[in-house]
Structure 1
Amino acid sequence: MPHFSRLGRHAMAGLALGSGLLGCSPTLDWRELRPDGSGALFMLPCKPTPQVRGVKLAGATVRLSMHACTAGGQTWALAFADIVDPALVSPALVELAATAAANLGAPPGLKLPLRVAGATPQAASQRLLLAGQLPDGQRVEEQVAVFSRGTMIYQATVIGQELPAEGVETFFSALRLGP
């Protein structure tokens, strides 16, 4: 039976581990994004698909842009719009949060800490943990944050059957607003 030194055993273990990792690809492949016109810098764990549509928020029709992708069994998204009228920012943020809960048939969620560098202090800014179900009956959890900078409003969302704590924290802690 061959005799391996302690260092040799550690080297062999390292090689075995390393060769096993070569065949793996990360589930969450983080990338930094700064979409034109968003004023936001954020990270997503997958390549997003941009979408734009007109929506009614706080009585105003706005052009809502969204960058979303799916990875690891979750959908990750950042949506943003210029509400134009400063008086509509707070009602729009309240509506975004309420709509997120209503879409899951969820009660008002547990409030979580929210800190977004560069965001305008706003009483209606919040981060929520929601639990409910999709229209097909699938049970899901969602973390959603709504916040603003000036008249730009934002909604950051992660939704899935299970939410990976480390990935969720990476997503929310990477949010930055500025010129």
Structure 2
Amino acid sequence: MKPAPTGRAAALAAALLLAACSPTLDWRQVRPEDSGIEALFPCKPLTHARTVPLAGTPTRMMLYACTTGGMTFALTYAELDDPARVTPALEALRAAASANLDGQETLLGPAEVPGMTPNPAALRLSVQGRRPDGGALAQQLVLFAHGTRVFQASVIGAQPEDEPVATFLAGLRRP
């Protein structure tokens, strides 16, 4: 039979137990305004909107993003109002993902988001790049569309962990 832990050992054991129970990733279902999609975020996202050139046309883009556990989780989307703009916009988002990190892209396969509109430019990608200070930066992302709305969901960090990336991307769906 083991002796009872001393006060110091018990305090250390309790501290380790509490640390194991405190979640870095506090998952919640989010329905971004006017997006027509649900996303599963591991922290409470902040929102930001701005007009940016997308495939040569000024476009209002919405961003929902939060940072936790050394990773930033983001969902960006825009309503294009013209079906002819969807594929060029997805291609522009793809090009920007690599350019923003000055990185190397790896195609992981087609996007698989329940309820998305099929499109040859709807893809799952990984980009390995660098921060401005030279530190490594990696991004996992999926580009997809629903009707005339385009989306980019991404997780970015020094080395995004597989499980949170998979959970975030698997949490995307049309309600």
1:97–1:145: 8 Å Cα contact kept in structure 2? no
- The structure whose Rg is larger is 1
Unaligned runs of 5+ in 2: 4-11
Instruction: Check the 8 A contact 1:67/1:79 in 2, yes or no.
Output: yes
Does the 8 Å contact 1:103/1:134 carry over to 2?
Answer: no
Of 127, 132, 154 in structure 2, the residue corresponding to residue 130 of structure 1 is 127
User: Following TM superposition, by how much is the alpha carbon of 1:66 offset from its aligned partner in structure 2, in angstroms?
Assistant: 0.4
Q: Is the 8 A contact 2:113 2:170 kept in 1?
A: yes
For the aligned residue pairs, the C-alpha RMSD in angstroms reads 1.9
SS for the counterpart of 2:124 is: strand
Residues 137-156 of structure 1 correspond to what in structure 2 (within 5 A)? 137-156=134-153
TM-score by length of 1: 0.86
Q: Which among 166, 169, 173 is matched to residue 166 of structure 2?
A: 169
C-alpha contact (below 8 Å) 2:111/2:123 kept by paired residues: yes
Q: Please identify runs of 4+ aligned residues in structure 1 that moved more than 6 A.
A: 16-19
Query: Unaligned stretches of 5+ in structure 1?
Result: 5-15
Q: Percent of aligned positions with the same letter in both sequences? A: 45
The Cα offsets for residues 101-136 of structure 1, whole Å up to 9 and x where unpaired, read as 011111332324531001000000001011011222
- Pairwise CA distance, 1:85: 1.0
Query: 2:59 pairs with 59, 62, 77, which one?
Result: 62
| Residue 35 of structure 1: how far off its partner (Å) | 1.3
Q: Give the number of aligned pairs.
A: 166
